Amino acid sequence: MKNVFIIGVGLIGGSFALDIKKQKPEYTIFGIDKSEDHLNEAFNLGIIDGKASFKDLEKADLVIVAIPVDATIEVLSKVLDVISEEAIVFDVGSTKEDICLKVKHHPKRRNFLAAHPIAGTEYSGPKAAIHGLYKDKTNIICEVEETAFKLQERALGLFADLGMRIRYMNPKAHDKHIAYVSHLSHISSFMLGKTVIEKEKNERDIFDMAGSGFESTVRLAKSSPAMWTPIFKQNKTNVIETLDGYISNLKQFKQFIEDENFEAVYNEMEATNHIKDILKGIS
């Protein structure tokens, strides 16, 4: 393996580039991005060795597609059309069902591995790329049996080098679970930020009064709308289900307060404290 192409040189793609470069200095890393500015920025930051375009993909050994999930759906078949029989392509999208469906019958389906590294920050763009982003993180692989065994091995070898844990899942289960543990967190955070901003016209009041608790709950409201809109679109049904559950729990909690049933309020919180033990497994 020599030529690595990263499509989308932002936080996720850029961080792959940095770690691959560190592990394998002999590889050449090319960037492809619809934003010429991002491409220049990634080059100037030393994240990529060169700028490339789609036609160059024919010489790729590895292609990482790290762009918003709607763009992935658009681009993935074109990538598979161009690459050689020996190349492996993986995506990193936060939805898997639509993406797998899109390339289901592509003649080069076996050159594709559907992946979702559970890693990231609330920042975006090449400047947000960091070393070691993937260390000790889970990478969910979907429909592994659809990928050629030799090519699987190559991708899995890279994930192991980067320190990732692998979990296998079918795309439908992935999209359902991830709606709960990731997509809902983002919406709850965005709407919390919105509710507070609407009310607190005087911003000085927000940051004088807000402690680290507020900061951590609204952190995800800094996330990129360009990345998240297509995720909610592709995972619409599951996301709506999580929102129904969340809104109904909030309403019930409100009702307990209205009814002055503070024993129930206490019990709701105590039962959820159990999240402590669950979180010990994360990070």
Site for a copy of itself in 233-272 (CB under 8 A): 233, 236, 239-240, 242-247, 249-251, 253-254, 257-258, 260, 262, 265-272
As given in the structure block, the two tokens for residue 1 are 């393996």
Residue 186 CB, shortest distance to a copy of itself, in Å, is: 7
31 vs 126, which CB is nearer to a copy of itself? 126
Residue 5 CB, shortest distance to a copy of itself, in Å, is: 25
25 vs 281, which CB is nearer to a copy of itself? 281
Q: Map the footprint of a copy of itself across residues 208-237, applying CB under 8 A.
A: 208-223, 225-226, 228-230, 232-233, 236
27 vs 253, which CB is nearer to a copy of itself? 253
**Distance between the two ends of the chain, CA-based, in angstroms?**
31
Residue 27 CB, shortest distance to a copy of itself, in Å, is: 27
Beta bridge partners of 91: 65
Residue 260 CB, shortest distance to a copy of itself, in Å, is: 7
**Total residues contacting a copy of itself (rule CB under 8 A)?**
97
44 vs 229, which CB is nearer to a copy of itself? 229
Q: Does residue 195 bind a copy of itself (CB under 8 A)?
A: yes
Q: Using CA atoms, how far apart are residues 76 and 136, in angstroms rounded to an integer? A: 27
Tell me, what amino acid is at 250? L
Q: Does residue 283 bind a copy of itself (CB under 8 A)?
A: yes
The only residue of 51, 102, 110, 137 in contact with a copy of itself, by rule CB under 8 A:
137
Residue 240 CB, shortest distance to a copy of itself, in Å, is: 6
Q: Does residue 130 bind a copy of itself (CB under 8 A)?
A: no
Tell me, what amino acid is at 152? Q
Q: Does residue 68 bind a copy of itself (CB under 8 A)?
A: no
39 vs 71, which CB is nearer to a copy of itself? 71
Residue 254 CB, shortest distance to a copy of itself, in Å, is: 4
The only residue of 26, 145, 198, 201 in contact with a copy of itself, by rule CB under 8 A:
198
Tell me, what amino acid is at 187? I
Residue 242: which residues within 8 A CB-CB, separation 6 or more?
A: 179, 180, 183, 184, 187
List alpha helices for 162-235, DSSP H: 171-178, 184-199, 203-209, 212-218, 225-234
Residue 66: which residues within 8 A CB-CB, separation 6 or more?
A: 6, 7, 8, 9, 10, 12, 13, 16, 91, 92
Residue in the structure block whose two tokens are 């927000």: 206
Tell me, what amino acid is at 79? V
Q: Using CA atoms, how far apart are residues 93 and 64, in angstroms rounded to an integer? A: 11
Contact assessment for residue 116 and residue 139, using Cβ atoms and an 8 Å cutoff: yes
